[in-house]
């Protein structure tokens, strides 16, 4: 038996596992110290009432012979796919229900979609970016080229004549930088992909945080995207499903490469390797898209936006450069004094008891930057910013 040698190319620990490991080691050495977690993007608010009620009702159904359900459709129950279709239609994006696939989260599908791609494809990934994009392609042994995201381009790289890629990852709002592509910028990527016959994998996991109506929340708001893009979305941050697990992937019927339709390929892949999301979870997810569910979810999103405003105000008072926060739950700041990002991580952890995420963990261009999230509680967010301001002299 020969193991997959591509795993030798991976870093020993996944970024967020390393953050958790260091925080746990500090807590063990200093049990008396309160740690304020502003790093890993997990939510703190519970599921909204509409979702909980739907989960309870579904559980009752599963306990009765006449309403019990066994295996469900791999693509997802029609009631949830219709709800997602209606959600997109409310923003002017028309989808066919057969183009919508329910999953256990965007992270899974972002890796699983690679089953449809030949290993000879060259993949373009922004730097810095969510590490899953890089790691899943390294596991498969694909060539990766990086599009530099820097302060100079607002951490939103654009295509140029020097770029030669078959698969392109885009994330907007971006994780980790919080930057959001404008419509004309996404149009340039779509035009590039259609001209080169390339595929865009568009991660829209944070679309619900966009407040500016001029900013696109779906790649399918862009002309020509249906012939070159797949979109991944999640209820993890939108509706607090980080521990419940549900998302959806949109594969347009027009998407075709080498005479092979991606919608059919993805359906075949899912039917072979995936047994679908549980009935209970899908009923809970359906409730997210009801009028009451949307009202409750928007209240939770507003809570996190107010947390982001607290962080933004503190950084501005300290004179620390940052981006994100306005249309994103993430704030991306320049490490004060030009510190390496892991050094700044240790400084915050040991001096202020704040756990953030070092930018270098997201790529080479993330060095000397740092990510904070707005997903903590209000009390802990305010406390963390007070501690940060108390460190002003050291910063």
pTM (2 decimals)? 0.95
Give the CATH number of domain 49-290: 3.40.640.10
> What confidence category does residue 351 fall into, taking pLDDT thresholds of 50, 70 and 90?
very high
Whole-number Å distance between alpha carbons of 374 and 303: 9
How many residues comprise the chain? 395
CA 135 to chain centre: 15
The pLDDT assigned to 199 comes to 98
Q: Which residues contact 239 (CB under 8 A, 6 or more apart)?
A: 47, 48, 51, 285, 288, 293, 297, 300
The pLDDT assigned to 395 comes to 67
Domain at 12-41+293-390, CATH class = alpha beta
Domain segments of the chain as ranges: 12-41+293-390, 49-290
Q: What is the pLDDT of residues 59-112, one digit of tens each?
A: 999 999 999 999 999 999 999 999 999 999 999 999 999 999 999 999 999 999
Whether the Cβ atoms of residue 101 and residue 78 lie closer than 8 Å to each other: no
Q: What is the pLDDT of residues 27-48, one digit of tens each?
A: 999 999 999 999 877 899 999 9
Residue 394 pLDDT greater than 70, yes or no: no
Whole-number Å distance between alpha carbons of 173 and 204: 7
Q: What is the pLDDT of residues 217-259, one digit of tens each?
A: 999 999 999 999 999 999 999 999 999 999 999 999 999 999 9
Q: Which residues contact 32 (CB under 8 A, 6 or more apart)?
A: none
Q: What is the pLDDT of residues 363-392, one digit of tens each?
A: 999 999 999 999 999 999 999 999 999 987
Evaluate whether 12-41+293-390 and 49-290 have a shared fold.
no
């Amino acid at each position: 038996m020969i193991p997959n040698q591509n795993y030798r190319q991976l870093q020993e620990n996944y970024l967020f596992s390393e953050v958790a490991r260091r925080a746990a080691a500090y807590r063990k050495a200093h049990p008396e110290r309160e740690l304020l977690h502003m790093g890993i993007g997990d939510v703190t608010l519970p599921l909204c009432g509409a979702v909980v009620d739907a989960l309870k009702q579904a559980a009752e159904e599963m306990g009765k012979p006449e309403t019990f359900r066994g295996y469900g459709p791999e693509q997802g129950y029609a009631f949830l796919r219709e709800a997602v279709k209606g959600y997109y239609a409310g923003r002017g994006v028309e989808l066919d229900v057969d183009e919508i696939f329910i999953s256990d989260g965007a992270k899974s599908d972002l890796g699983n979609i690679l089953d449809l791609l030949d290993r000879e494809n060259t993949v373009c990934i922004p730097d810095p970016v969510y590490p899953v994009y890089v790691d899943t392609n390294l596991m498969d042994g694909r060539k990766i080229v990086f599009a530099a995201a820097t302060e100079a381009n607002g951490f939103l790289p654009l295509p140029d004549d020097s770029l030669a890629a078959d698969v392109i990852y885009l994330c907007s709002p971006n994780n980790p930088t919080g930057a959001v592509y404008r419509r004309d910028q996404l149009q340039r990527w779509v035009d590039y992909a259609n001209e080169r016959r390339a595929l865009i994998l568009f991660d829209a996991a944070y679309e619900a945080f966009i407040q500016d109506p001029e900013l696109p929340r779906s790649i399918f708001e862009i002309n020509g995207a249906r012939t070159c893009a797949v979109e991944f979305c999640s209820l993890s941050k939108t509706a607090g499903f980080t521990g419940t697990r549900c998302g959806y992937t949109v594969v347009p019927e027009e998407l075709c490469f080498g005479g092979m339709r991606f919608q059919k390929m993805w359906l075949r892949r899912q039917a072979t390797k995936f047994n679908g999301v549980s009935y209970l979870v899908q009923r809970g997810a359906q409730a997210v898209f009801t009028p009451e569910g949307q009202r409750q979810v928007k209240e939770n999103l507003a809570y996190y936006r107010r947390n982001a405003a607290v962080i933004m105000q503190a950084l501005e008072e300290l004179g620390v450069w940052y981006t994100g926060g306005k249309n994103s739950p993430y704030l991306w700041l320049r490490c004060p004094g030009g510190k390496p990002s892991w050094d700044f991580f240790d400084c915050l952890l040991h001096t202020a008891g704040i756990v953030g995420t070092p930018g270098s963990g997201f790529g080479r261009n993330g060095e000397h930057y740092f990510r904070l999230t707005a997903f903590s509680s209000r009390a802990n967010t305010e406390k963390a910013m007070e501690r940060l301001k108390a460190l002003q002299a050291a910063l």
